[in-house]
Structure 1
């Protein structure tokens, strides 16, 4: 996967020995970004987290489970799967997030913590999360960057820009270098979508 992305025109690999992280600018056209934003805005609900750390206000965004039967959502899904080259059966449904002023998702990883209750619940069918694709749908007026603290990389939101990273080490264990923080929006609103992939089909 990493070699495939590194050899794809328009894909930038972030220099890091500890994390396979890629950036694709203008991956999604503005009209599709706007269409997904409309869907998120009309169906959003308070976000939740697995492996709850007990920290208040750890994740304060709103979430939308996008309908895979919607032609617009299916188009976006197909584009992401096509870029990564993974079996569509390994993908979770696309999820949308909305961040208003002051909202954030504190530093976390997308994998399930081995040995935890949520690990056994959420990995029983499809296994661990392997790759993450995250896409910015708009340009907030200020704030809302994604900070990969371990590797010292901050990515600023730009409409249509996609990030993709490998959540696992070579031995299949979660990679701690994927720790990332959806930083607070200081002005405006931030919309993103996220698609995760698993080790095995979820069906």
Structure 2
């Protein structure tokens, strides 16, 4: 797990929050969950060529030393009080029905970069229970982790949870990278 404080400045964070508020929709899951409260946030896809998004997108790839063509579309997320994303991994499970489609569109997710866009009054921490790490939202803070072990197997220690917001609203952006070039249908 890597942390980069002040990766984004206040102006950049405000611009991302405006984009999220203007384009948000209920968040979805790749595989449906029987638990209706598993993921209750709102999300939006960020246009990578937008003048506000492109420099951030490129800066994340440069920081991680990853070809930008391996990056998925950056996603914005908004969590109101009570909203959460229960414990999950960002890597793809190879035994799931969606795996063949993921192979065609760049393969396994390798790295995740997540940036907090604001401080939150209460709650909303990102918790990595197996790693014993809990990170409170802090405007501009980037977290990055490798979803794979050195041998290419999934890094199960990356299990993480967007804990419920108690007061205020939490905004983040997330950027995932693939092992190959990510292609859109």
TM-score range, shorter chain: over 0.9
2-side partners of 1:167 and 1:53: how far apart?
Answer: 21
**Is 2:58 aligned against 1:75?**
no
Higher helix share: 1
- Partner of residue 96, structure 2: 116
**Cα deviations across residues 118-165 of structure 1 (Å, max 9, x unaligned)?**
222223220000000000000111110000000111011000000000
Q: CA deviation at 1:94?
A: 0.7
User: How high is the TM-score relative to the length of structure 2?
Assistant: 0.96
2-side partners of 1:165 and 1:134: how far apart?
Answer: 9
The worse-fitting range, judged by mean Cα deviation, of 38-47 and 81-90 is 81-90
The alignment partner of 2:52 has SS state of: helix
1-side partners of 2:67 and 2:84: how far apart?
Answer: 31
* Structure 2: 5+ residue stretches without partners: none
* Structure 1: 5+ residue stretches without partners: 1-20
2-side partners of 1:158 and 1:51: how far apart?
Answer: 30
Which residue, out of 22, 25, 28, partners 1:42?
22
Q: How does 1:21-36 map to 2 (within 5 A)?
A: 21-36=1-16
Which aligned runs of 4 or more in structure 1 are off by greater than 3 angstroms?
Answer: none
2-side partners of 1:125 and 1:101: how far apart?
Answer: 35
Q: CA deviation at 1:104?
A: 0.2
Q: How does 1:80-159 map to 2 (within 5 A)?
A: 80-159=60-139
**Is 2:152 aligned against 1:175?**
no
Question: For this pair of structures, how many residues does the alignment match?
Answer: 183
Aligned Cα RMSD in Å?
Answer: 0.9
Given that residues 51 and 113 in structure 1 are in contact (C-alpha distance below 8 angstroms), is that contact kept between their aligned partners in structure 2? no
**Is 2:2 aligned against 1:61?**
no
